[in-house]
Amino acid sequence: MLKSMRKSKVPSRWFAETELKVQFFDLDPMQIVWHGNYVKYLEIVRCALLDKIGYNYEQMKASGYAWPVIDMQLRYVAAASFGQQLKLRAEIVEWENRLVIHYLISDAASGKRLTRASTTQVAVDIQNGEMCFVSPAILFEKLGIESQEEHYVKN
């Protein structure tokens, strides 16, 4: 999955970036960021992305859908260390049947890639607990695009 991460020359309109300074409590005994903390970093930038499109966890719940992460892949390229300023980036790359987000964690000063990752989330109807095989129209609305159903009705 990570090998297929596209390198588009045209930036996606569904991305967010934020910076984070590595704190002491994120380090392991080797004085580098413990590998499990990268998941927390992904969550930080994912929330920034979901806020940007107006569909964070409160809005998801209000719309009647939960969006659990069903798959996560991380590739550690280089370690982050105490005090290092990190640039976190998340980009939505798939949305029709599931929500796929690609991530890049890099050194803010040099741009050196430290970690890349991907998560897959699916919509689950909160009322009946059933997984949706097509993303609900609310996601398309938040992304500012037509859903497949709307496209077929118009055409």
Domain at 132, CATH number? 3.10.129.10
Assigned domain for 38 exists: yes
In this predicted model, which residue has the larger pLDDT, 74 or 8?
74
Using pLDDT thresholds of 50, 70 and 90, give the confidence band for residue 146: confident
In a domain, 94, yes or no: yes
- Report if residue 7 sits inside a domain: no
pLDDT exceeds 60 at position 3 = no
Instruction: Give backbone dihedrals phi and psi of 152, rounded to 5 degrees, phi first.
Output: -70, -35
pLDDT tier at 147 (50, 70, 90 boundaries)? Answer: low
Q: Give the Cα separation of 25 and 14 in Å (integer).
A: 31
Q: Check whether 153 has a pLDDT greater than 70.
A: no
Specify if 121 maps to a domain.
yes
- Domain assignment of residue 2, yes or no: no
Host domain of residue 28? 14-154
| pLDDT score of 104 more than 90 | yes
The rounded mean pLDDT for the chain is: 90
Q: Residue 53 and residue 70: Cα distance in Å, rounded?
A: 21
Residue 5 clears pLDDT 70, i.e. is over it: no
**Domain annotation covers residue 55:** yes
**Structural domain includes residue 6:** no
Chain-centroid distance, C-alpha 2: 14
96 in any annotated domain:
yes
What is the tally of structural domains in the chain? Answer: 1
